[in-house]
Chains A and B, each alone.
Chain A
Amino acid sequence: MIIDNSSSHDGKQCAINIDNLSINYGSKSVIRQLNLSIKQGAITALIGPNGCGKSTLLKCISRLIKPTHGSVTMADNTDVHQHPSRDIAKRLALLGQSSQAPEGIDVKTLVAYGRAPYLNQFGVLKESDHQQINKAMHQAGVEDLADCYLDQLSGGQLQRVWIALVLAQDTDILLLDEPTTYLDISHQYDLLELLITLNRSGKTIVIVMHDLNQACRFADELIVMRQGEIINQGTPKSVFTEQLLKDVFDFNAIVIDDPQSLTPMSIAKLAPLSTQASEPTVLMKVAQA
């Protein structure tokens, strides 16, 4: 699939351009000659089966992995791997999959580290930095937790605190690697709604997602990957088909419209497994007696 590097097909500006990118781990090739542009101001979801290279791609965009070949550039052609890392950190933030919380620091201190790219050697915060930190904590809804220590927080709260940290970084582009993984269902939707709010305020968001129906519901654009290559890119409606699920995920499903958002959603086609649909078993009869 060939995509023009300077702008995507519908003429919108591109936030990130990936040109002929290959990544090898040792002799194993994880991503092969990949070309991609990510639309500015959109929510783009990266989906694909386990090991397809979607997390690797995100890590490469955020400079955690160096490309073996090819380049990742931003809207003004700055190569993220060549340019000083601090400058890139003012434009592009990553929320990784497993962030470790250090011992003995409180929420406000952690969020303040998001200002690191703007600070001097000794990390002295100026008034404007304090404003950004407070704004980030407000957006992520963790103001009330400002003085709490990290080990007092629940998983959902902790994830919001990490979000506040990347918001304090004040970047135009936000990359998130499966941010909903350890959250219960209501916190998942809280977080996705927060991302939509941020997107409306102008941020470009790229998110690796496991839950396909959530991806369809929240993303403007889907990028489907398999074995280090891009299989398809486009709006959920144009991309998310029964055929695609079969080809890419080896998943037999029907695709219907989500009754609430009218975006596509998948439902597995399986023989009935649950006991609810069949005759009561011997054990159930015993239990009743």
Chain B
Amino acid sequence: MSKNNVLCFFALALTLAGFSIWHLAAGAVYIPPSAVIATLQSSNTEHHFIINNFRLPRMYIAGLVGVALGLSGLLVQGVVRNPLASPDILGVTSGASLSVILLAILWPHAPLHYIPWAALVGGFSATAILLLLARKLLHRPAAFALVGIALSAIFGAAIDYLLIVNPLEINTAMLWLTGSVWGRNWQHVPLIVPWLVVLIPIALTLAYRLDILSLGDNTATSLGNSVTQLRIFSMLIAISLASAAVSVCGSISFVGLIAPHIARSLFGARHLLLIPTTAMVGAVLVISADLFARILIPPIELPAGVLTAFIGAPYFIYLLCRDQQW
């Protein structure tokens, strides 16, 4: 790690801390940052209730979802070897969404806390279908990603159809689909933390082999790696991370695409360094998106996913224009 990297790392950590505190401070009742910090240190302040019961869990959820989405994108880009790839295009998000809509229609009175599990099942089913259809394309990453895009389109069409045919049941589903951290509380934290605790260490053990994979399939193979095995394994981890994130707050698009790019431009190409830094960038992105979603046009709260899309889509176009190879 060079001196430059260390500086960038501290700057990133500071940014994350800054946005986290701002996130806790902003809202219908403005709490000054100094009071936020005091509240975090002791439980006997006047803002304790608001911060601990409403804002803190929401901030944590936003950060953790950002971590999961960012890492998922990093792994997908490493495996597909295309900087424009992201978990969004593999059909995970739309598969999870479809599953939630089906739940809302088939079982209108299902308890709200079933939604994350439905999303998880949907995300993994979409993955299973993708791997089944495209298993022979694993060594042609671009073709593999295109199958994912086609699958997404099919799931998307199914969602639209269901929403039009059953307009009454869609309210919760709709709110969930746009990717919002609204109303998330401590109950939702255990839905994502175990995934991260298990999957991040596994991702770290894959880091060096993903570096080698960036030299191309042939070089990676002749250096003694089983490329197909590495691909499937990394893809499963990426998809689990994305599914976990989607299960908690719906589809927050473009974080999986952008976070790895920002990390790469700051820290280079080594995955061992990119894993922690992409996670932090992802957290900053979702926390700041949720922050601005709340304070831009109060008292209306936008879903965070709307904001990430507004920033993410132009960035995506910029990437396409800049990168002459594609």
Contacts and interface: CB of A to CB of B under 8 A. Distances in A.
Task: Indicate, yes or no, whether A interacts with B.
Answer: yes
Interface of A: 59, 62-64, 84-90, 92-94, 96, 99-100, 102-105, 110, 113-114, 116-117, 119, 121-123, 165, 169
Interface string B222-236: 111110000000000
B218 A64 contact: yes
Interface string B253-289: 0000000000010001100100000000000000000
B273 to A, nearest CB: 11
A88 B215 CA distance: 19
Contact of B226 (A85, A90, A93, A122): A85
B155 to A, nearest CB: 31
A10 B225 CA distance: 36
A104 B224 CA distance: 23
Contact of B208 (A62, A84, A88, A122): A122
Contacts of B169: none
Contact of B223 (A84, A89, A104, A122): A89
Chain B contact residues (Cβ within 8 angstroms of A): what range? 20 to 34
A102 B217 CA distance: 12
B207 A122 contact: yes
B301 interface: no
11 contacts: A59-B218, A86-B224, A89-B222, A94-B222, A104-B269, A105-B268, A113-B223, A114-B223, A117-B224, A122-B208, A123-B272
A86 to B, nearest CB: 4
B82 interface: no
A248 B212 CA distance: 39
B221 A104 contact: no
Contacts of A169: 223
B212 A116 contact: yes
Contact of A99 (B218, B226, B269): B218
The SS class assigned to the B binding surface is helix
B118 to A, nearest CB: 36
Given A119-B208, A122-B272, A102 B223 contact: no
B166 interface: no
B268 A117 contact: no
A119 to B, nearest CB: 7
Contacts of A117: 223-224
Nearest to B218: A96
Nearest to A118: B224
A99 B212 CA distance: 12
A89 B224 contact: yes
Contacts of A122: 204-205, 207-208, 272
A94 B272 contact: no
Contacts of B52: none
Contacts of A90: 224
Interface string B199-210: 000001101110
A96 B219 contact: yes
A113 B211 contact: yes
Nearest to B264: A104
A87 B223 CA distance: 9
Given A113-B215, A116-B212, A122-B207, A102 B222 contact: no
A85 B221 contact: yes
B214 interface: yes
Contacts of A62: 221-222
Contact of A64 (B204, B215, B222, B224): B222
A105 B269 contact: yes
B224 A116 contact: yes
Contacts of A59: 218
A62 B204 CA distance: 28
Contacts of A105: 268-269
B2 to A, nearest CB: 11
Given A62-B222, A89-B224, A99-B219, A104 B205 contact: no
